[in-house]
Structure 1
Amino acid sequence: MKKLILISLFSLFVVLTACSSSVKSLGTEEVVIIEINEDSMIVKDVNNPNKDQQTIKIPKIITSLISEQNKYHISYEYYKNQTPELVSISPSE
């Protein structure tokens, strides 16, 4: 009986761990763009200077529309342990 409970608990743990990594999250920040690459940008959160720089995937078409060292409001979505992807961007005033 104890073996069955342990196996059940372990199975539940494995399933919950797998499900938690497939949950999509949404983030919004005011950032300064540090660097623009072909398919990503490196940003720094303006409101939290202690936070590390973050890499965010961007569509290649917008690389010519944004500028380094400018402030923007961005929204992005991400899965646990994956690079965030840009959802929207607008200039910060």
Structure 2
Amino acid sequence: MSPPPESTHTFGVDPAETAALARSWRRHGRVLANLDVDELANTVGAGHCLAAARAAAAPTKRVGVDIANRLDVLGQIVGRFQARAVDDDAAAGRALHGLADR
């Protein structure tokens, strides 16, 4: 009996899905990094609520940039994971395929 033809099935790691996840995280990170808080900082008017809104601009920007950096790093990590998983999956598949003759 001949061994089955090589398959493109993976062990649960879908390269397209992980690549899309990495792209999504990095894209959303860029959105947060470019968050425009100028209108918040330039809110005009008197009162404690408006003063609080103006004061929130800088911390909002810092938090947005911090989260953006984390999302970018997560995207990079997922990208590296995907590359390694595909390589490992291919190696495991070759090893298992090699057992077909036994």
TM-score (norm 1): 0.32
Structure with higher helix content:
2
Structure with higher strand content:
1
Answer with 1 or 2: which has the greater Rg.
2
TM-score (norm 2): 0.30
Higher RCO (C-alpha under 8 Å, 6+ residues apart): 2
